[in-house]
Chain A
Amino acid sequence: MSDITKLTLIETIEALEKKEFSEEELNKAYFERITKLNPKLNAYLEIEKNSCGIPAAIKDVISTKGIKTTAGSKILSNYIPQYNATVIDKLSEQNISIIGKTNCDEFAMGGSGENSAYGPTKNPWDLNKITGGSSSGSAAAVAADLCVFSLGSDTGGSIRQPASLCGVVGLKPTYGRVSRYGLFHMASSFDSIGPITKSVEDAALVLDWISGADGHDSNCFLKASPRRAARGRLAKIGVPKEYFAEGLDPKVKIVIEQAIKKLEELGAEIIEISLPHSQYALAAYYIIVPSEVSSNMGRFDGIRFGSERGDFGPEVQRRIMLGTYALSAGYYDEYYVKAAKVRTLIKQDFEKAFTECDVIVGPVSPTTAWNLGEKIDDPLKMYLSDICTISANLAGIPGLSVPCGFSDGLPVGLQILGKQWDEETILDVGEAYEQATDWKKEKPKI
């Protein structure tokens, strides 16, 4: 079979059950494709050769026993973890094998993939463009069919945004749905592990596999994710006016509006809603996240493992300094405490909005993938590209990115946000949209 690697996870499982090909053939097909394409894309930092299991790619901030895990950082260039993250153990129970560790922004800090110490990942749709980040390699590997699915992590949009810019499905679950045990800490109260897949159905399946309490993550206390009952149910959809404000690329806006129209045609009720505190989200996010970062990075003091702190890249150093400052005596109340209050207001915005609607839709990213190097010297511009995704992390709610078209040949993703613990409805809406459109069939030509 020539197009084994084009199959979705569910199709792959079915094909294996029908013995259309063997696990060995499956692994070989992917391995050959990686060997051929990875040098162009730089999606993988580490490649494993397996002969069994279903090959998945794992973002390099997730601890894998015996497999080098660098977090895209020079600090951990030779770090081999002695333990598996919970998600890895859960996946191996499902006959999933790790085909490689994917490139990412250093310690998941960045929105373009360019902050990796091992060079940026290239966008499979245009090798001169960024993939988005920080789960750059995980999104590119799925888009280029270099794995069946991948795991990423999302602290401010790091799953949804690269999924959007690479034309694949990305799911950020509710904070606490999936155990973070083994996910290298970036901002502990924001970090979520989630799947990047070739279909919405795949994302639902992987979520089901990896979620549930493990006795290691105190914030992950629900036993398992609810099985999805209703399929293709269409909900009352809220469209926040704040997500269509200044800064949104007009061409992207048109694609998103067409997608919303499609949902309406499918029977959804569309209403305009407001998330009034959205304008403060970025400021609050860039106080609380660096604060947590500054503390989480403290263990990399060069004494027990890892190299000298001078080996941190500029973005990590910037966040350590910002966070250390924000937590300092005399500034804590003015910065951290105030930002935490804004965070509560943003949570309340969503709670209120969800009394009026079941899901919220809008763009994932205000633009399509930009040129490599375009924003690298302007951190603020880079931060602004997270504007549509960070609110979900501040509020801890789930969000899905589903391919919804193209602008100048580059993919655009539709963001579907849901209530806390209600991944079910956003997956239903996403799947209904996916099945009514053909975007899933589009593949990059590389």
Chain B
Amino acid sequence: MNYEPVIGLEVHVELNTKSKMFCRCSADYFGKEPNTHTCPVCLGLPGALPYINKAAIEACMKIGLALNCSINEVSRFERKNYFYPDLAKGYQISQYRWPLCINGYLILDNGQKIRINRVHQEEDTGKLTHRDSETLIDFNRSGVPLVEIVTEPDFRDVQSVRDYAKKLQQLFRYLGVSNADMERGDMRLEANVSVRLVGQEELPNYRVELKNINSFRFMAVAIEYEIKRQIGAIKAGEKLSQETRGWNADKKCTYLQRSKEEANDYRYFPEPDLPEMKVDRLQATVDSIKAKMPELPWEKKERFQKEFKLSISQTAILTESKELADFFEDTVKHGQGHDVNGVQVANHIINKKINIKEVLPTQVIEELRGKKVGIIEDERELEKLAKQAMEENQKSVEDYKSGKVVALQAIIGGVMKLSSGKADTSKLKSILERLLTYA
């Protein structure tokens, strides 16, 4: 019998707004002296009240709209009640029954459509540090805006989960709403994993929540481990149940954190300190976000392919960050009128691994033009250079003959060195292939 995994993903992302979610304290807490970015509100002092940060709501809607969600007609904040020392008020202001954005989707590279259940707004907690026998609390992070993006259990393989998470990270950076740095905890992943028989329609009656995952790589191995563990358990006749497990990166295994019986009853109810948000009152904001929505990474990718006739792998590299994509387009613009086209620019940026922080688009064009002007196309001259390079790279010649085709690159490199990069690559390649075959 064959089993397949059923996976859903919850992604938390910390917004890079100037101030916190419900007070005017600076949200830029990373590396700051503990408890210096605090006030009565984020310390949860008696009588202090939350006041909504509009910029955070806008960022949340931006994410939601980019993920094809609709803005909920009525949304509101709710209280998630539980006790933990890093939770100043004894509850987290979050959203549960009335999230801000609902029913979206994201299309993966393999074409699969992942349904997004919700994109909602909440606040971060303080941070505990354990030192010897004492525990210290830092409330600088308390109240920093967090957005949670929850998918339906649509993933059937780990690669798709990884692709999805990377796409989200790219999106947050494109939208400028977060640095989405995993190591700093800007972006946190939780996976809900269960397995079922291939062909089974209904969802499994349990799910295991995987927490404490701080990198894409760990997420992939943790999910893979968990799938194997669950299939093994089922085959051994065990009954799996709802639980929360953590990832132990040293032992490379998941471990039980909390069983179903120990699960919190969060007693969600509408946050009485905050008014509800109605879409008709938000409409102007929604319209302006839509109007100002930047080109999204996947849209850019598609356009680059069409407009510049780039390959899929080229566009993937060039659109990885908005900065690189912009640099590419700027360069192409400068290249117009100099007989330099998009493919040449793309090749140059990718092959030369241009550092866009140090080089200007105009410089790239100059380099490309210079190359064009002094290019060596004369076949006899090329053959001379090729022979010299073969002399100097005896080992590569042997390797090529014994079947290692990649060794050709080393010889091409040799020619480039001799010609200060001015050899016409495509002509050189056919000359070399001929010489090597008959050598």
Contact = CB atoms under 8 A, between A and B. Distances in A.
B176 interface: no
A259 to B, nearest CB: 35
B212 interface: no
B269 interface: yes
Contacts, number: 96
Contacts of A381: none
A303 B85 contact: yes
B40 interface: yes
Interface in A201-220: 215-219
A295 B269 contact: yes
Interface stretch (B8-16, B49-57, B101-109, B223-231): B49-57
B44 interface: yes
Given A291-B269, A298-B90, A327-B267, A182 B51 contact: no
Contacts of B45: 63, 81-83
A188 interface: yes
Contacts of B89: 298-299
A216 B51 contact: yes
Main secondary structure of the interface of A (DSSP, over half): loop
A187 B51 CA distance: 17
B273 interface: yes
Contact of A299 (B44, B137, B265, B275): B44
Contact of B47 (A183, A304, A327): A183
Given A180-B47, A298-B83, 9 more contacts: A181-B48, A219-B274, A219-B275, A294-B267, A299-B89, A301-B83, A303-B85, A324-B267, A332-B267
A298 B267 CA distance: 12
A295 B265 contact: no
Nearest to A188: B272
Contact of B91 (A298, A300, A336): A298
A43 interface: no
B89 to A, nearest CB: 5
Nearest to A303: B85
Contact of A83 (B40, B44, B85): B40
B81 A327 contact: yes
B81 A63 contact: no
A85 interface: yes
Contact of B49 (A217, A294, A332): A217
A216 B272 contact: no
Contact of A295 (B47, B79, B88): B79
B47 A215 contact: no
A218 B273 contact: yes
B111 interface: no
A327 B46 contact: no
Q: Sort A-B residue pairs by CB-CB distance and give the 7 closest, nearest first.
A: A298-B90, A189-B272, A188-B272, A327-B267, A182-B47, A184-B46, A63-B47
B81 A297 contact: no
B81 A295 contact: yes
A63 B267 contact: no
Given A215-B51, A218-B51, A71 B274 contact: no
A328 B273 contact: no
A328 B267 contact: yes
Contacts of A85: 47
